[in-house]
Structure formats: structure tokens, C-alpha cells
Structure 1
Amino acid sequence: MMCYIGMRILKTHGCRAAHNIYLRESVGGTDYVNSREISCEMVLDLDPRGYTIVPKTMHPGEEAPFVLSVFTKASISLEAL
């Protein structure tokens, strides 16, 4: 099944993004695309409190499995929320 997918990268100041991601500062992401795969290349400012990556579908309640891959030259840690 194909569905419209996208993602947002949020500056969340060390907090969980909550239900409405539009209340947080977005530093980038993608448009919705009817595809099995999306990518986003960015250079982010160092923020010790981190960023939140939000994979999303276009329609509320629509779910799809996903794989998130992050490539970086810097040392980072990732954690699921």
C-alpha cells in the first residue's frame, strides 16, 4: 500500500513534541510524497537539547511502517519517543 508520507525536524528544546507538532519550531523536513521512500539532507546547528524527527502520513489516523536512517559525521545518540 502506498500513502503520502513526509517528515518534519523539530527543535523541541529537550521536550517531547506533543500532539500538535505545529506548535514547535520546524527547522526542516519534506513535503508529502506518494512514495515508499523519502530523504532529507540538512546541516543542523549544534543544540545540546537535540531535535525530534517526526515521520508522518498525510491523513490523521493513517499509519504505515517506517525505517529511519540517520547519517552523520558527528557523534550523536538517537532514542525512540
Structure 2
Amino acid sequence: DQSEDLIRKLSESLEIKGLIGYASHPDVLEQAGAADADMLIAVTASDEVNMVACQVGHSIFNVPTKIARVRNQDYLLPIW
């Protein structure tokens, strides 16, 4: 995430490793350990960042399970 305060709070309350950076950037995902991850869960405030993070996790790091939070219902329209 971009918020140092949010990362600190989450790292203290949950047993997670938090990094400041853009979640969809390969270097940030690499620092987060994506190469060894069994799962990538992307839950930023941006649907597009979440989807790209999962795609990068798949394409570059071969993460087997990806979950992207997508709130915009337009992505679920049958046309897509």
C-alpha cells in the first residue's frame, strides 16, 4: 500500500509482512515474496491495481492462487 500508517497498523494487528509501494509493480511483489507464495490476495482501493497485481503474480511469479477484490459490478457484465 502507499500508506505507511495503514501498513504499520495491519502489520501490528495481523501477522503479515507489509510493504510500501505499488501493489502491481513486479519489484514490490518480489520484495513481498511472490516467487515463493502459494496465494496472492490483492485488496487495494483500486480494482484495476488488484487485477493487475494478480496478473503480474500469475505471469511473472507463477503464483498458483490469486484473489483480486473487484467492487465495480461493470466487470461482471456478460459482454465482458
After TM superposition, is the score higher than 0.5? no
More strand by share: 1
Task: Tell me which interval the TM-score lies in, with the shorter structure as reference length.
Answer: 0.3 to 0.5
Instruction: Report the TM-score, using the length of structure 2 for normalisation.
Output: 0.34
Instruction: Report the TM-score, using the length of structure 1 for normalisation.
Output: 0.34
More helix by share: 2
